[in-house]
Amino acid sequence: MRSLALWRVSHASLSAPEFSSSGEPSSITATALDLDQNALLVATERKDALNDSEATIAIWRLASEGGASEEGTPSLVTSYATPTQLAANPWSKGTAKGVTAPRKDAEIVSMHVLPDSHSLVVITRAGDITTISLDDDAPSAEVVGSVEGGIMGVAWSPDDTLLVLVTGEDKLLLMTSTFDVLSEGPLHPKEFGEDAPINVGWGAKHTQFHGSLGKAAATSSIPPTAVGASPDDDGHVRVSWRGDGAYFTVSVLEGATEAEARPHRTLRVYSREATLQSTAEPVPGLEHVLSWRPSGNLIVGTQRFGNIPGESAQKSESGSGLGPGRDGRHDIVFFERNGLRHGEFTLREYRAEDAGRAVSEQRRWGYRVREVGWSSDSNVLSVWIEREDGDIVQLWTTGNYHWYLKQEIAAPPGQDGRPGRFTSVQWHPEESLRIILTTPLDVIQRTYAWDTFASPSQSPVDSGSVAVIDGTNILLTPFRSQNVPPPMASHTLSLELPPDLQPAQPKRTPVPVHAAFAHTRDLLAILWEHGAVQVYDLQTRLGPGRGKVMDPVHIWSGKLAPRSYRQAAFAAEGCKEDVRIAVLGSDPGSDAVDVVSVVAIVEKEAKTSDVAFVTHNGRLVSSRSILWEAPDGLVFDVDTERKSASEVAHFPEFCFWTAHAVVNQGESDAPTSLYIGLTHGGKLHVVDGQATRTLATNANSFTITPGFLIFTTTAHVAQFAPLKILATLLKNSETTNVPEFETRRVERGSRIVTAVPSNMSLVLQMPRGNLETINPRPLVMQVVRQEIDSGDYGKAFTACRKHRIDLNVFVEHNPEAFIKGIPSFVEQVADVDYINLFLTSLGQGPLPADVVARICDEIRAELERKDLKKYVNSILTAHVVKRPPDHEAGLALLLRLKESEPDLVEDAVKYIIFLVDADKLFDTALGMYDFSLVLMVAQHAQKDPREYLPFLRELRALDHYYQRFRIDDYLRRYEKALTNLSLAGPERFEEAMAYVEKHQLYDHALSIWRGTDKYEAVLNIYGDWLFDRRDFKEAAFIFRQANSPEKAMIAHEKALDWQELFELAVQQQLSDDDLKDIAYRVAEDLVSKKRTSEAASVLLDYAKDVRESVIALVEGSHFSEARRIIVLHRRPELLEEVIHPGALECRARIAEDMSEMREQLRKQVNRLRELRVRKVEEPEAFYGVEDTDLHNVDVMTDISMAPTMFTRYTVAPSAMSKTSSKRSSRSKRKLERKVGSGRKGTVDEEEYLLKSVSKLVTRFNTTQADSASLLPHLLQFTEEHRAEAASLQQELTEFAAELKEAVEEIWKKTPENEEGTESTPAVDSWAARMDAYEKQKHINPVDKVARPELAKPEWKLRLPDARGSSENR
């Protein structure tokens, strides 16, 4: 669907004084590109009329075409004289016998720049090979060799390393770039070549199927005498290389022989070593042109068919020597590398009025093909046609196996009005769509670009029309109505210019150069390069119907001032009947500037105004206004009234594909203009006049809809950028990042053809040419939201169903507005199935439960108001889709309708059973205590009567409340069942209590029997349950409420709540012996719980046992309190009997603890030192490498193997462990605990040791506190006690110093370990936790474990003798 659009034109002429002198004038004959210097070298030839044996060749340098830059004045490189072909070989063998001698040809056969030596090689027909060094200050020509007999054909390999020469002596030479001969062979070999087919006895032509041609075609063959050459053949040899330089082909005119009575063309394919590979099959009428497609799949030639004009009687019975077919048929034919034919297409130059007569002796058919050539990307085929009234070059492209004629280049008329002639046509080797043409006086460079002529009209009149140029036909397809695959089209518009609008030369209707659509009407403007314009009203049918989809009507034709025009665009129309067209052109010549001609057509009368610019090769911007983009990226607004232009935006670089969009941000904000541009490099820029954003650097196409900028990328993704977001992005200068837009994957290489907002469709074209129409979600959602806002719920609902859009969008878009519009929604979406679908989507969607319930209730109320009978299924759906479902309300509706509409209820029951599980519905009906409803549901659910009838009969026989109790118990509604059981009578109380205990309904039971005489019984049952659960404290509280003091006392004793226990015991007036028994039991339990001070209080207060109380205090190291009690109760003997030995025993216990702590500290510090040395010396062995994915893989085989680095810190399943690789969540967490358990040799050992030392410090702090309470008492007792006090203080001081030094050493950080930790995502999965653990391995454990702090030594005392001097240490 793409067409070739003219982008840049460069025109250079050589001045008359430099270009001609005495004798014949000079003529441009050849060009060569100097890619290193970005220059074009042009060769001119001049022959003396009096001396035709010598010609003067001049080499000129031109700056290569470069956008807006001027080409400058041609400069002469050098000139030299060279012999002509006539002087070197008057009777050359290159012209076959029987063929008319060719016209006077240029002497230069080839001119080529060698990049390695940066020299120009000029090869002439006389046989001279001349080199010119382009690096010299004064370049001069040097003849490096000469070929005897002249040179008939030349071709350089694509890599510039090989040269193929065809000599006048019918020899084929292969030479290096230094002109060393590698191979020499005959030009007319007799053999087929190395790829000659082998006949194995099957697959022959006569065994093949030939369709409607019949068996005669199997034996038919063209006799050799019928294969001849075309009269238009120039007789020259052609050579062409394949793009990769592996093969080359030679086309040569074979002379008449005894076996072959006619001269004819033969194609041969050679390898890079000049070895003959294959010879093409004989083709009658094959002509001289030859070009191998760079991609390598096709070799191009031309073939004539029918009879030769002017020859009524053929010379022999074998015919004219041309191909059999229609007279005048002229095909471009293709060959494969093996020489076989591979398709063709027909040229369109032959005119029926010339049939049977020869137009001229040189051009029998009125024209002939001079040369063909391929663009460097193999996409465009150029055909140089020499006509009687001037030369033209046609540009052909292919798509879907159809060849399109896209552009036509006419040669400028010669001096004195003579027909214009080209002297050379050459494609640029790097810029794929740049072609260089020369005339005798001028050098023309034209650059094309691919463009899509699509209608920019917007909804609701958007037709989605696209125009494709194919010669003088415009292929039109309105994608809103049809998607017609190319090369077909909905309508073919044939163009025919009246004589007064046709160009002067050639006098005919040429191929249009551009086409454009209007914005608000379906108008099409067609532009020709010479200035002719035609406007058509396409009259496209937008809606469905049986009439023509398109019926174009011509409304205006005209011709603009003589210029070279290349682009047309519609401007904003005034009224419906007025049309304004902006046409971009430039004056011919090297000093051309761009001119925008605005044609205003009012009532078929045209008025033209021109606005000129200072540069050329600009571009019109697709817009409702007239915008022109300069080659440097500046965008100007053209004012036709003032004939001036003002700058409105600036692209960072020139953008060939541009568009203008106006974005309305809101009622208060002014509209924002966005200028979108796409460069050939794939950069997509958005400009608003001040700011610029580059949205993509790999874009390949874009289009604009009212809400989106849609573009595709080379990553095969279509992106949808909201225009409002782009406008906001450009206004916010602080935001530099481009947001993420909604995307959709597309097929590889897809490009946008057009977008049809009304159809919510986007049309894409694949590289092979076929089309695909998609409905992207952003476009669909935009239209759906617009229709919801406008209250057109029916269209919105249809669009959502068609494009599979979640119906929750109706509510999510604007909940309050939708609720208000529910009556209209029900009115427009009246179908019951559609409403059910909407309600079901609503219930399964992400909306909150309260919103769903509200909307369901509103819709249900509206449906009941409109027609309850019609919408009964929808009303049931509204009940069921709530969260949680309201099944009872649905069944209640059926009960209401049961008597009045039995048939309706039957269908409704079937429907609700379809929506809800039949068993759930059966239980719901049963829970409503309506057996008729239960039977109705069971019958329609096709349940087995043997399953439910006995159960229902049993229930019917029970009392009212007990029946309901059984039903609720069956439905597992235990609280409701207990309530009904409590109402069944007092005789059911024991059963109720058993039911409470069975289902633990204590709280509910308390609420039921509160305030009754059964309340204390319920409390007792509740208390017993709490006591059994060992929740003694709460059980005691419940027993006290139930007036059960005995049970309360037992519970208090079990809870060790001795204050409450003895309170109750005293209140119950227990005897002293009972109180002592209780006191001894409680004290024993308190001592076992290390609550020694409380045990002492119990023994002293309730057992009156001072000795046991003192013993309990001493056991808890409460010496001060013990001594106080001894003095208070006057029991001094207990000091020596209990306290003195108890103090020594406490001292021994502290010494034992400190010895154990000292041993542990030294062992763990030494191990930490070893680990840290190993971590530095062998880091890989210390850490190992683990893949967390392997935790779920059985890494061990059935044969046991030695542990590895992996098994150092994992527990992988193996044959040794006999465990499965499948782990439950519990076992995985157990594995994690094992991983971090700190076993010796694991990577977690260091962290484990640090935590152990930290716990040791905490333990020592506790020991210090115990020592602080013991030391003062030791000093007050005997000499033995004082010695132990000094010894204890010495041990504490030494161990405190050792522990402090160890902590300082352990928690000292090294520089290499001062790295921060990385955060890990909080994902609750075993693999994620193990992955986080893997990352934590390399973190220094010192950063994980906090450094412990030693408590202040409050135990230090100043001792009276020398043994206490340790306090100063």
Residues 6+ apart with CB under 8 A from 1187: none
Residue type at 1184? G
**Cβ neighbour number for residue 1136 with a 10 Å cutoff:** 11
Omega within 30 of 0 (cis) for the link into 506: yes
- Contact at 8 Å (CB) between 370 and 392? no
The rounded distance, in Å, linking the Cα atoms of 231 and 1068 is 141
pLDDT at residue 1181, as a whole number: 62
pLDDT at residue 1057, as a whole number: 86
- Contact at 8 Å (CB) between 879 and 886? yes
Across-strand partners of 674? 661
**Residues lower than pLDDT 70 in the chain:** 15-24, 49-50, 64-72, 87-104, 199-222, 256-261, 312-318, 351-361, 573-577, 589-590, 667-668, 1180-1239, 1241, 1243, 1309-1340, 1352-1369
Q: Max alpha carbon distance in the chain (Å)? A: 161
The rounded distance, in Å, linking the Cα atoms of 623 and 518 is 10
The rounded distance, in Å, linking the Cα atoms of 764 and 703 is 11
pLDDT at residue 1186, as a whole number: 46
Q: Give the end-to-end CA distance of the chain in Å, rounded to a whole number.
A: 98
pLDDT at residue 260, as a whole number: 58
**Cβ neighbour number for residue 800 with a 10 Å cutoff:** 23
Q: What tokens appear for 557 in the block?
A: 């034709």
pLDDT at residue 1327, as a whole number: 58
- Contact at 8 Å (CB) between 87 and 53? yes
Residues 6+ apart with CB under 8 A from 865: none
pLDDT at residue 123, as a whole number: 94
The rounded distance, in Å, linking the Cα atoms of 1123 and 444 is 122
Residue type at 1345? V
- Contact at 8 Å (CB) between 7 and 455? no
pLDDT at residue 1243, as a whole number: 66
The rounded distance, in Å, linking the Cα atoms of 1168 and 1259 is 20
Q: State the helix-helix crossing angle for 849-867 and 832-844, rounded to 10 degrees.
A: 170
pLDDT at residue 921, as a whole number: 80
Q: Which alpha helices (H) appear in 350-443, and where do they start and end?
A: none
Residue 419 phi/psi, 5° resolution? -55, 140
The rounded distance, in Å, linking the Cα atoms of 1083 and 1093 is 10
- Contact at 8 Å (CB) between 299 and 310? no
The rounded distance, in Å, linking the Cα atoms of 1037 and 1064 is 12
- Comparing CA positions, the residue from 540, 535, 525 lying closest to residue 462 is 540
Residue 980 phi/psi, 5° resolution? -65, -35
Residue type at 637? D
pLDDT at residue 924, as a whole number: 79
**Cβ neighbour number for residue 1233 with a 10 Å cutoff:** 8
Q: DSSP letters along 616-677, please?
A: -S-EEEBSSS-EEE-TTSEEEEEETTTTEEEEEEE-SS--SEEEEEEE---SSSPPEEEEEE
Q: What CA dihedral angle connects 1245, 1248, 1250 and 1253, to 10 degrees?
A: -120
- Contact at 8 Å (CB) between 1019 and 1006? yes
pLDDT at residue 920, as a whole number: 84
Omega within 30 of 0 (cis) for the link into 1132: no
- Contact at 8 Å (CB) between 894 and 933? yes
Residue type at 267? L
The rounded distance, in Å, linking the Cα atoms of 552 and 901 is 61
Across-strand partners of 420? none
- Contact at 8 Å (CB) between 307 and 249? no
Q: DSSP letters along 734-752, please?
A: T--SPPPPEEEE--TT-EE
